[in-house]
A and B are shown apart, each in its own frame.
Chain A
Amino acid sequence: MNTGSTNTEQTVAVSVTVNGTPYVVDVPPRRLLSDALRHDLGLTGTHVGCEHGVCGACTVLVDGAPIRSCLVFAVSLDGTQITTVEGCCADDGEMGPVQQAFQDCHALQCGFCTPGFITLITGYLEDNPAPTPAEASEAIAGNLCRCTGYQNIVAAVQRAAELRRPVVEERASRSPGEDR
């Protein structure tokens, strides 16, 4: 049986800033943020592992705080600032500190869960710049990885803390408002 109709579900215009770039996107209200990022904005770095909020692969930062993008409707986030794994790169487009730490410590294998860890850790290190291994393990404990056994991810959290220190210090040494 074939039909030829097209989808005319009502849409809502949503304005979000993703990785510093403003977007206005028309989506149905039911569009999950994860799907909006991946399929409407083409930012496929955010992965979907369970769609019920347990695995954490879809974690993004909303106004700096890690959340599960499969557990929010895009429409609900109108006006927010979103950071995805693509936005965790260094200014020159090379690997950012958390990303570099993941390579250094072999903290990924298949790489599917990795974007969720990288955004989570990026957000976490902003608040906790020098975690102990136990704190690092605790910090990543809401995200599932089926490949690595986590040991190297914990090491990567510490390595990332080390790598970002000069960047943070430089940021702090600049006078307030300079980068506005």
Chain B
Amino acid sequence: MKPSPFTYHRPHSADEAVELLRAYGDSAKVLAGGQSLVPLMSMRLAAPEHLVDINRVEALQSVEVGEDEVRVGAAVRHSRLERDEEVYGAVPLLRQGLVNVAHPAIRNRGTTVGSLVHADPAAEMAAVLLLLDGVVELRSATDSREVAAADFFLGPMQSATGPGELAVAARFGRPPPGSGSAFVELSRRQGDYAMCGVGALVTTGQESEITSAKVALVGVGDGPALVDVTSAAAGPGGAFREPQLAELLASQIAPESDIHASAEYRRHLALVLTRRALGQAHERAAA
């Protein structure tokens, strides 16, 4: 289990990085945290000829908490984002999702943007990006563009990041006042990819009535599934009407059976965990 040879590049600016990506095209891969890429390389399931290591690009290291959103640079590690109190104050869902990502030693190296680009169907942060109306900023040597979360995840291990493009940052929208969020998941062992994970964002109005309720699910389809469940809210108590909830979910998720869980069980979990996540989120919204 040793990687194939490659040529190593260490750009010091995003310009330099995208220039390298342009020059080497499909034969190059971006190395950020490497927590997904390196094992694939060690198993020789990936064998890029060129690695562009963006860890030394200063401009990609920043976390900016703005009035409307939190912007996370491509080289920012999960653990830094997780521990940032200002970020937590602005968007609690980021920490709520991040603590479910693998184990601390992985979060100390892995990057949040890298995880989004990797597009694992069970990746928590993809759900978080969707729930927060996030955007991924992509740059190539010739162009810059922004892709909304809804358009970013194309399938298992497939994101909208094209050849020669570098995801330079992700932006997560700050939820409106009166919002509460939660992330719950169930995995076989703690820290494993979830059999099903659910992020929830509930916003309440002045009478603490639910004005908006959304969930994003992972592990139950080809990619994260965003479901607006506002219509299932049952009034000021915060409860959701279960049949409606089940119906809303049913059309949006397409779980498959694998060695860890059957499709039917995953579908069952999706409803149970959605209920739990909404409950927690609503409680926090009301608090």
A-to-B contact residues, CB < 8 Å: 9-10, 12, 28-30, 32, 35, 51-53, 56, 59, 62, 65-68, 70-73, 75-76, 78, 120, 139, 141-142
- Assess whether A67 is in contact with B51, with CB atoms less than 8 Å apart: no
**Cα distance, A17 to B1, chains bound together (Å):** 26
Partner of B108 from A52, A67, A73 at Cβ < 8 Å: A67
**Cα distance, A78 to B38, chains bound together (Å):** 17
Interface check B6, CB cutoff 8 A: yes
- Distance between A157 CB and nearest chain B CB, rounded to angstroms: 14
With a 10 A CB-CB cut-off, give which of B3, B5, B10, B104 has the most chain A CB atoms. B104
With a 10 A CB-CB cut-off, give which of A28, A29, A75, A139 has the most chain B CB atoms. A29
- Assess whether A72 is in contact with B39, with CB atoms less than 8 Å apart: no
- Assess whether A71 is in contact with B38, with CB atoms less than 8 Å apart: yes
A68/B191 contact (C-beta < 8 A), A12-B8, A53-B38, A53-B39 known: no
A76/B55 contact (C-beta < 8 A), A67-B105, A71-B109 known: yes
With a 10 A CB-CB cut-off, give which of B3, B38, B55 has the most chain A CB atoms. B38
B191: A residues at CB distance < 8 A: 141-142
- Assess whether A66 is in contact with B104, with CB atoms less than 8 Å apart: yes
Interface check B13, CB cutoff 8 A: no
B5: A residues at CB distance < 8 A: 9, 28-30
A30/B3 contact (C-beta < 8 A), A72-B34, A72-B38 known: yes
A73/B38 contact (C-beta < 8 A), A29-B6, A52-B1, A142-B191 known: yes
- Distance between A166 CB and nearest chain B CB, rounded to angstroms: 27
- Distance between B112 CB and nearest chain A CB, rounded to angstroms: 16
**Cα distance, A65 to B80, chains bound together (Å):** 11
Partner of A56 from B3, B51, B79, B105 at Cβ < 8 Å: B105
A56: B residues at CB distance < 8 A: 103, 105
- Assess whether B6 is in contact with A30, with CB atoms less than 8 Å apart: yes
A10: B residues at CB distance < 8 A: 7
**Cα distance, A52 to B44, chains bound together (Å):** 12
A32: B residues at CB distance < 8 A: 2-3, 38, 42
Interface check B234, CB cutoff 8 A: no
Interface check B27, CB cutoff 8 A: no
A71/B35 contact (C-beta < 8 A), A29-B7, A142-B104 known: yes
With a 10 A CB-CB cut-off, give which of A12, A35, A53 has the most chain B CB atoms. A53
- Assess whether A76 is in contact with B53, with CB atoms less than 8 Å apart: yes
- Assess whether B106 is in contact with A142, with CB atoms less than 8 Å apart: yes
Interface check B31, CB cutoff 8 A: yes
11 A-B pairs in the complex with CB atoms less than 8 angstroms apart:
A12-B8, A30-B41, A59-B105, A65-B108, A67-B105, A70-B38, A71-B34, A76-B34, A76-B55, A120-B105, A141-B191
